[in-house]
Chain A
Amino acid sequence: MLAAILDQSSLFLQQLVNGITLGSIYALIAVGYTMVYGVIQLINFAHGEIYMMGAFLSFSLLSGFFGFGLPFGLAVAVSVLVCALAGILLDVVAYRPLRRAPRLAALITAIGMSIFLQNLALLIWGGQIQSFPQNAIPALLSEPALQLGDVVISWLQVVILSTAIFLMLALHLIVHYTRIGRAMRAISQDKTAASLMGVNVDRVVSYTFAIGSGLGGVAGILVGLYYNAVYPTMGYFAGIKAFAAAVLGGIGSIPGAILGGGILGLAEVFGGGYISSSYSNGIAYAVMILVILVKPTGLFGRHLRDKA
Chain B
Amino acid sequence: MHLDDRLFTDKKLYLPLLAAVLVLPWLPMGIAGPYVLRVATLTLVYMVLALGLNVVPGFTGLLDLGYVGFFGLGAYTAGLLTVHYQWSLWLVLPLAALNGAFWGILRGAPTLRLSDDYFAIVTFGFSELIILVIRNELWLTRGPMGVPGIAQPDIFGKVLDQPWQAFYLILFFLFLVLWVVVKIRSSRLGRAWFAVREDEIAAECVGVNVASYKIIAFALSAAIGALAGAFYARWFRFIHPDMFKFWESILILCLIVFGGMGSITGALLGALILIPLTELLRIVLPAELSNARYLLFGLIIVFMMRWRPAGLLPVEKE
A contact residues vs B (CB 8 Å cutoff)? 41, 43, 94, 97-98, 101-109, 111-120, 122-123, 126-127, 236, 240, 243, 247, 276, 278-279, 281-282, 285-286, 288-289, 292-293, 296, 304-308
CB of B106 within 8 A of chain A?
no
Q: Which of B59-106 contact A (CB under 8 A)?
A: 61, 63, 65
In the complex, the answer to whether B63 meets A304 with C-beta atoms within 8 Å is no
Bound Cα distance A285, B69 (Å): 14
Chain B, 238-255, contact with A by CB distance < 8 Å: what is the 0/1 string? Answer: 000000001100100110
In the complex, the answer to whether B200 meets A307 with C-beta atoms within 8 Å is yes
Q: Contacts A94-B302, A111-B65 known; list 15 others, CB within 8 Å.
A: A104-B63, A112-B298, A113-B298, A117-B298, A119-B292, A120-B292, A122-B292, A236-B246, A285-B128, A296-B114, A296-B115, A296-B118, A304-B115, A307-B116, A308-B201
CB of B157 within 8 A of chain A?
no
Given A107-B120, A122-B292, is A116 in contact with B298 using a C-beta cutoff of 8 Å? Answer: yes
Min Cβ gap B4→A in Å is 21
In the complex, the answer to whether A127 meets B291 with C-beta atoms within 8 Å is yes
Given A307-B200, A308-B201, is A112 in contact with B125 using a C-beta cutoff of 8 Å? Answer: no
Min Cβ gap A167→B in Å is 26
Min Cβ gap A117→B in Å is 8
In the complex, the answer to whether A285 meets B125 with C-beta atoms within 8 Å is yes
**Chain B residues whose CB sits within 8 angstroms of the CB of A117 once the complex forms:** 298
Given A127-B291, A282-B132, A293-B122, is A108 in contact with B298 using a C-beta cutoff of 8 Å? Answer: no
**Chain A residues whose CB sits within 8 angstroms of the CB of B136 once the complex forms:** 276, 278-279
Min Cβ gap A282→B in Å is 5
Bound Cα distance A276, B136 (Å): 10
Given A115-B297, A286-B129, is A108 in contact with B253 using a C-beta cutoff of 8 Å? Answer: yes
CB of B111 within 8 A of chain A?
yes
CB of B10 within 8 A of chain A?
no
Measured CB to CB, the nearest residue on chain B to A109 is B305
CB of B300 within 8 A of chain A?
yes
Measured CB to CB, the nearest residue on chain A to B138 is A278
Q: Which 3 pairs, one residue from A and one from B, show the smallest C-beta to C-beta distance?
A: A112-B301, A116-B298, A115-B298
**Chain A residues whose CB sits within 8 angstroms of the CB of B295 once the complex forms:** 115-116, 119-120, 122-123
**Chain A residues whose CB sits within 8 angstroms of the CB of B132 once the complex forms:** 279, 281-282, 285
CB of B299 within 8 A of chain A?
yes
Question: Would you mind naming 6 contact pairs between A and B with Cβ atoms under 8 Å apart?
Answer: A104-B63, A107-B120, A278-B136, A292-B118, A293-B122, A296-B115
In the complex, the answer to whether A111 meets B250 with C-beta atoms within 8 Å is yes
CB of B164 within 8 A of chain A?
no
Min Cβ gap A161→B in Å is 28
**Chain A residues whose CB sits within 8 angstroms of the CB of B309 once the complex forms:** 101-102, 105
In the complex, the answer to whether B301 meets A292 with C-beta atoms within 8 Å is no
Given A108-B63, A285-B128, is A126 in contact with B288 using a C-beta cutoff of 8 Å? Answer: yes
Q: Which of B282-318 contact A (CB under 8 A)?
A: 288-289, 291-295, 297-302, 305-306, 309
CB of B117 within 8 A of chain A?
yes
CB of B30 within 8 A of chain A?
no
CB of B126 within 8 A of chain A?
yes
In the complex, the answer to whether B63 meets A112 with C-beta atoms within 8 Å is no
Bound Cα distance A109, B118 (Å): 16
Bound Cα distance A101, B57 (Å): 16
**Chain B residues whose CB sits within 8 angstroms of the CB of A41 once the complex forms:** 117
In the complex, the answer to whether B292 meets A289 with C-beta atoms within 8 Å is no
Q: Which of B165-201 contact A (CB under 8 A)?
A: 200-201
Min Cβ gap A241→B in Å is 11
**Chain A residues whose CB sits within 8 angstroms of the CB of B293 once the complex forms:** 119
**Chain A residues whose CB sits within 8 angstroms of the CB of B294 once the complex forms:** 115, 118-119
Instruction: Select A43's contact among B121, B129, B135, B200, beta carbons within 8 Å.
Output: B121
